[in-house]
Structure 1
């Protein structure tokens, strides 16, 4: 029984007030009003759903995929959210793959198979009414059936890059549409607009026009005669995708295409690309549907996303201002008015509501101006290099106006930078790195603190933040360093070097005992402050974003961040991994500001984002209503590519929540949660340089140590802690180690010139698997099996990480490493691509010559999975599953290391038809899984006659390319497991009655 699934969403349908999604072999139905899951039902047996076809005059839905189809019936009640779904026709298996289906009547349907054959079936009697095979014997990659008044129209997308249009009423095809240079992936038709849209793996979208050859305009479009009387020509050939174009759909105003490049392209009927939006975390978008107001997409990241159709046309409200001056700096105030600093020593306050402006003449001596606005946006500070300071305040009530509250001359020497630290303090940086913090005293200023910035090449600040409660200030300098000061101590309490590259941090946010920095290196970095223990003030982790210039957060939850990608301004939603807004404005090397606010009356409140920027000495303003452009996740996304490894744990903070740690081919390591209501959510996402192949969880220092490794021979260690904050669980993580076994490119070059540097001809080494033992409370030993056949041993102790051994015993790639406590000794087991299993004693101190004390060959080829069970002090049961489709149980007897041998062995090769990727012992049961998507439950036993295994049951998983399984929970009547591969699925495996 499937409890939860996250995998490719291969079908979506907008149906009345509902959103239907085909995920695996099940249909999920969500409310279009509140996006809540209403119900779900298994429709097919072990086949992915590729189409949902509603009947126009009833509440029936035809579901098909693979070689099967079934029919659902929706039953409504007075409450629109109270919906029942019934499978009226059980899954029926056809003789060939299905590409399209169509309703003919309430009791009959037509299906199009992969060999260009149309069959008409009576669904009530399950009888074949008729069959029509086309003269064009071509394998189809796609197809579309249209029910006509006098027949069935077939549009066949062939492997020969052409679309063949024929009808069941005629022998010869009606039309051949040629022009694509690749196989046809989808065909869409809009009879009202008279167009056909096709997509292909040549990355193109083609719009075909239908033209009547005769002057008769009264001919019905849903007749064979009409299709015989028209000519079809290619009107537009469209290129906007960077990879294969998978699907398209047609609305009254737009043509929408989606593809492998994760792009949604909106086209108009004349072939112009109106907008291109990236979605689904760079995963393939498999399905799309649209109505008059929304577009729904399903992707390879397991997400169903609904987008407003207005996104294609809506570009916000544009406004330009010209004040007959040359603006240098600009910012929004708290009341969304503008303050402008021009090149004539004037500060202008522009009231947007009544279109009036007030000008203040500044009496500054230097033309080098410093301009900053406070966090609350009510205070504006303008200073110059010589120390002249003006502070202006905007009133909160009545008509908005600006007042000069401070006009002072500071004796700080040459001032290089000025920043607000909160709403009361200004931070100045002068020559020789002297940092001065001032605050207001009536209409004058007073010095609150003085600090000294450590020496660096460009010794001034780029950002600052203050925490008055803890009397702490955090600053970032132009060389990318971040320094933590406490008031009363001139020198830094703690410094972090080269945090954000040579441009320095762009913003610093202090929250409780944490602070967050952003920078122009495409990262957000998280730190922890402990004023009592300097060693506990440390860098925790970082988040990599899709764009380089990360400027600042625009919300209180630190979820919405803004920045630039070249000339485009971006607002990014961190939690949902998508871009909310993209505006081409020329780039961040200009003065600009952005504000997010809610406006409206009564119950009709709308969220707005307003951007202002200077371009060509003009001030441009862009106002966006977010409901017209922001997309909504119906189901939350996860990995956009294959999951290679998965482990789970629970926390005492909330035992009902299970934490899933996963690593995948998309180079991310994710920690996700599934609660008691089976709601899935990614909590944190970490990046590796290459794919994540393996991970292990170890209890360490009152937390969970996550050790992950994979491509580029990279190993990462992160310490995870779970806390409850504001009634929500929060994952705290600290990055302990980021280590590359082969070294970075710079380390490999060893600072040599290009003439003297040598090339490492050894291919990139991958860490295929690892396991961890903890000899002491503060010591971790890691055993890593690598693709270059080396076994590498690492030690983490007292915050240092080192490679201590490289052992060469195997001649081929090591696929699996597992440690087991056996007879009070630590035994390491390694498995290779030739089916070899080796046992190593790793209990003694390292430095001596280490070699396996026993080696045997269990499988005929590579071993993908292994599990062990200690039976006694001298007997070890080992289960291995490999590429030979066989599960091998071996009882290894170890009376002594010199006399180790296989006592009994049993081979089981009849339960799976593909590579075995997972084996697990659970009490007296053995669970196995394979690429064939089956999960098998066996009961094992060992006696004096040998090993015996009894088959109990087998389930089918909707996860393709299964990489393994993990046990989540066990009870008296079932075992809950998580199968992972191209997604993940929770399955409940029933246990036999003990009686």
Structure 2
């Protein structure tokens, strides 16, 4: 029985006040307005849902996919209260002889189905029998289809493999129309007879918009006679996608298409591309549906996202700001104030306060600065505006809370050069001058006091790009132009802690101090998180980072550090970090110009709305864009996770809350994720970090309330993280610290040894991958065993102590001749034994207890179990023997019982063997021994339960039960729980699913 699933969303439907999703063989129902999860029901058996067809003015919903179809009923109480929602399946799935492409209701008890061989079947749902079956004269294989109910029958749109759409009725032998023009197979067909539009999509990346021209306008569009007397012409052939176009939908105002390029394209009926919107983390978008106000999409990242249709047409209010000044001037620098007004510096040394609501200039101040190099900075509260030049002249203005004006409160000279100036909070200004001298000044009324002097360490461009201050704990944190972050404490000129080159060569763009951590952003496309010790700032630690889709990450614009802004080349971007959603895109020319952005609550009509306003200087003009988020912001119905296959998974629970399960996963999308699943089956990524290449394997070790995660994979990379779960208010918060990031063959620069191109040698050795790792604790250190694709078994020593982390390679063993696929450690006879498996089906056992020299170490026993590569292994240790279970590419499961005469390792031999290839019909990717039970899984999407025992004659293993999983390309499984009644396992591959196996 499936308890939870997160995989490709192959069907979505907006129905009444609900969002219905088809994920695997089950359907989930959500409330459309609140996005609240209501209920999940298993509909089909071993088939994915590809179509959801509600019956108009009824509670019945037709579900189909693969060769099956069924009907579910969604009942609410009389008041429409979703708390009283009842969802049930009316009957077991009907099984057809062919794949189904489309379905529709004929009446309340009759449905029509379109098969992959262009046949229309009419089914009576009461008797569950076929009433009639009509075969088309054109028996082409269909890649897509559409059934359109008419008053006097059915209309069939058949998308063939021959790049054409055939329109016919089941009762006519001759097709009515042939729509030709695509240069690939037809993936989807949509039709809106009222709008007289047909839309077809194809793997040639095109969307074709067909126009219906009736010859007899007086005929009704829902009659067969109407469709016999029309001309269909291709009005527009449009290209907006860079990959195959999977689905389309027609609304009253526009046409929507989605594709494998993770892009939603909004088209006008005239064929004009209105907007392109990237979503779903660059994974394919498999399903789409629309109503008059919203669009819902389901993608390959497992997410379901609700988008407002207004994002295509009502995308912000654009205007140019004209300053009514007496003397014409060019604006140079702009910034928002606390009341969302503008302060503007121009080229004639004037500071202008512009009231955005009344669109008028309220006051102009003349700035008497000798230098043309001027700096403008606004405090965190945005009420104080500082203007300085290179010679040290400083003016500070304050915005009046009651009147629309600014007043000069400070006019002084610092008597030293100023290269950079930043506000650190609301009262402190941080200046960086000649020779890296940092001066922190605080303003009290009209005077300036020196809070502290500090010295910036030597670097190429010795000035600051960002600063923040914790006044209570007397901590100053700054970032310099070389990407370094320095932590200072008051009365100490030199930094107590320096993080070297954590950002790119342009330096951090913002620093935010919050509680016991600080967050930095930079123009290297990352957000970086650090821990801060209030008692000892020298103990500050780098924790983790988050990589974004755009390179220039500027700053957060909300207090929760969730909404961030920046630039993707010439495009201004606002991004939701938690939900991985892009909120705003504006082509403004890039971030090198003067610009500012503000997020606020404003009144729109009779309602208060969340608004974001962007201003920037372009072509000597001030441009403004105002966005109403409710009209453009997408919302996650189901959160996304991995966009490609999951290669490895481990789970654990925190003692703080046993209702929440945590999953550490690594995948082909190069990400390592810590995800949580709560009691309502809601999944959320808590931590996401990236490897250089795919993540092949991971292991977790419990360490005094924290979790050590060792992950490895492509590019011969090993990363070690420390994960800590804590309670903040009523919620659990996960934090991670990056301990080790190690490349076995070194970085590119190290591998080339700084050689010039004339003297550089070619490395003929292909890039090594780490296929599997295991961790063994010995005394005060951890031994990490890595089985690699170059047939080498590598051993590393890892010692973790707070404030002191050491990691070093200590040995390489080359016993195997081919790639090592699996490594696992067991303790037997008070000895640590390592087991390795290769692509030749060889299993080797190594004694790794207190080894002095690793390089000449050899296994004490080897045997061949499988005919080819071993993908999975598990062991069961008793007092005098070891049972090894292996599954491999030969589709077989092998049980091998090793005997140790006189409890001596040197005399090891195989006592009994057992194998079968009857449990699975494809590569076995997971085996687990749980008490006297054997659990296995495979690429064939089956999870098998068997019972084993040892007898004098040998090993006996009897089949018990088997279930199907909806996860494609299963890579392995993890045992979650084992009770007297059932075993709960999590299988993973293209997504993950938690299933329960009754004993």
Specify the TM-score bucket, using the shorter chain as the normaliser: over 0.9
* Matched residue, 2:225: 225
| Matched residue, 2:484 | 481
CA distance in 1, matches of 2:354, 2:677: 50
> 1:685 corresponds to which residue?
688
Q: Once the 2 structures are TM-superposed, how far is the Cα of residue 459 of structure 1 from its aligned partner? A: 0.6
Q: Partner residue of 1:989?
A: 997
- 1:627 is paired with a residue of what secondary structure? helix
Partner of 2:737: 734
Answer yes or no: is the 8 Å Cα contact 2:638–2:682 preserved in 1. no
Deviates more, 1:311-320 or 1:372-381: 311-320
| Residue 19 (structure 1) aligns with | 19
- Deviation per CA, 1:331-354, whole angstroms, max 9, x where unpaired? 110110000011111100111223
1:827 to 829, 833, 841: 833
Secondary structure of 1:851's counterpart equals coil
2:787 & 2:625 partners in 1: Cα distance? 55
Q: How does 1:604-683 map to 2 (within 5 A)?
A: 604-683=607-686
Alignment equivalent of 1:330, drawn from 321, 324, 334: 334
Deviations 1:556-593 (A, max 9, x none): 11111100001111011111111011111111011111
Write out aligned runs for 1:149-160 (5 A).
149-160=151-162
Please list the CA deviations of residues 619-644 of structure 1 after superposition, one character each: whole Å capped at 9, or x if unmatched. Answer: 11111110000011111111111111
Per-residue deviation, 1:539: 1.2
Aligned residue number for residue 368 of structure 1: 373
| Residue 405 (str. 1) matches residue 409 (str. 2) | yes
CA distance in 1, matches of 2:185, 2:809: 50
After TM superposition, give the deviation of residue 733 of structure 1 in Å. 0.8
Tell which deviates more after alignment, 552-561 or 55-64: 55-64
Are 1:277 and 2:277 counterparts? Answer: yes
Distance in structure 2 (CA, Å) of the matches to 1:535 and 1:808: 43
- Residue matched to 2:190: 188
Instruction: Please say if 1:959 is aligned against 2:964.
Output: no
Specify the SS of the correspondent of 2:630: helix
Of the three residues 430, 433, 446, the one matched with 1:430 is 433
Q: Distance in 2 between matches of 1:602 and 1:54?
A: 36
Hey, what's the Cα distance between the residues in 2 that align with 1:534 and 1:550? Answer: 26
Q: Is the 8 A contact 2:475 2:537 kept in 1?
A: no
Answering whether residue 857 of structure 2 is matched by residue 850 of structure 1, we say yes
- Supply the distance in 1 between the matched residues of 2:963 and 2:594 (Cα, whole angstroms): 61
| Maintained 8 Å contact 2:285/2:298 | yes
Q: Name the SS for the 1:748 alignment partner.
A: helix
> Is residue 392 from structure 1 mapped to residue 397 from structure 2 by the alignment?
yes
Quickly say closer, same or farther: Cα 1:531–1:12, change in 2 above 3 A: closer
- Runs (5+) with no aligned partner, structure 2: none
Partners of 1:355 and 1:723 in 2: how far apart? Answer: 49
**Map of 1:90-169 to 2, 5 A cutoff?**
90-169=92-171
**1:929 pairs with 2:933:** no
Deviations 1:797-847 (A, max 9, x none): 352322222221212211111111111111111111221111111113242
Q: 2:707 aligns with which of 687, 704, 709?
A: 704
CA distance in 2, matches of 1:383, 1:720: 44
Q: Could you say what secondary structure the match of 1:241 adopts?
A: coil
Among 892, 905, 910, the alignment partner of 2:913 is: 905
Distance 1:303 1:390 in 2: 51
The SS at the match of 2:934 is strand
Which of 801, 811, 818 matches 2:817?
Answer: 811
Match of 2:768 in 1: 765
Q: Which residue of 2 aligns with 1:452?
A: 455
1:340 partnered with 2:344:
yes
Could you give the per-residue CA deviations for residues 354-376 of structure 1, whole angstroms, max 9, x where no partner exists?
A: 33321001121211111100011
SS at match of 1:547: coil
TM-score normalised over the length of structure 1: 0.97
**Matches of 1:562 and 1:353, distance apart in 2:** 24
State the distance in 2 between where 1:114 and 1:605 align. Answer: 52
Q: Is the 8 A contact 2:496 2:538 kept in 1?
A: no
List per-residue Cα deviations over 1:421-441 (Å, max 9, x = no partner).
000100011101100000013
Query: What does residue 83 of structure 1 align with?
Result: 85
Label 1:950 to 1:280 Cα distance change in 2 as closer, same or farther (>3 A): same
- 1:799 is paired with a residue of what secondary structure? strand
Partner in structure 2 of residue 54 of structure 1: 54
Deviations 1:96-155 (A, max 9, x none): 111111111222221111111111122212222222212222211111111223332211
Q: Does 1:867 align with 2:869?
A: no
**Deviation of residue 409 (structure 1)?**
1.4
* Alpha-carbon distance, 1:700 to partner: 3.5
- State the alpha-carbon separation in 1 of the partners of residues 168 and 94 from structure 2: 26
> Secondary structure, in 3 states, of the residue corresponding to 2:281?
helix
Does residue 380 of structure 2 align to residue 379 of structure 1?
no
- Partners of 1:23 and 1:850 lie apart in 2 by 50
SS of 1:104 mapped into structure 2: strand
State the distance in 2 between where 1:557 and 1:818 align.
43
Secondary structure at the aligned position of 1:712 is classed as helix
Aligned match of 1:254: 254
Deviation at 1:603, TM superposition (A): 9.3
* Residue 702 of structure 1, CA deviation: 4.8
Does the 8 A contact of 2:191 with 2:199 survive in 1? yes
Q: Is the Cα contact below 8 Å between 2:718 and 2:741 reproduced in 1?
A: yes
Residues 687 and 735, structure 2, Cα contact 8 Å, conserved in 1: no
State the 1:76 CA deviation.
2.1
Partner of 2:887: 881
Query: 2-side partners of 1:846 and 1:562: how far apart?
Result: 54
279-288 vs 805-814, which moves further: 805-814
2:167 & 2:396 partners in 1: Cα distance? 74
- Equivalent residue for 2:500? 497
Matched, 1:774 2:777: yes
Residue 532 of structure 1: CA displacement?
A: 4.8
Larger CA deviation: 751-760 vs 467-476 = 751-760
2-side partners of 1:939 and 1:555: how far apart? 56
Report the TM-score when normalising by structure 2: 0.97
Separation in structure 2 between the aligned mates of residue 850 and residue 534 of structure 1, nearest angstrom: 46
Given candidates 551, 554, 559, the residue that maps to 1:551 is 554
CA shift for structure 1 position 883: 1.6
1:65 match: 65
| Matches of 1:571 and 1:354, distance apart in 2 | 27
Post-superposition Cα deviations, 1:156-211, rounded to whole Å, max 9, x if no partner, equal 11112111222212112222222111111111111111111111111111111122
How far does residue 79 in structure 1 lie from its aligned partner after superposition?
3.5
Separation of aligned partners in 2, 1:601 and 1:152: 47
Moved more, 349-358 or 255-264: 349-358
Deviation, structure 1 residue 649: 1.3
Distance 1:284 1:356 in 2: 48
Q: Which residue of 2 aligns with 1:294?
A: 294
Shift of 1:614: 0.7
Residue number in structure 2 paired with 1:840: 846
What CA distance in whole angstroms lies between the structure 1 residues aligned with 2:4 and 2:222?
A: 42
8 Å CA contact 2:487, 2:537 repeated in 1? no
Could you tell me how far 1:314 is from its partner in structure 2? 1.1
Choose the corresponding residue for 2:596, options 590, 593, 597: 593
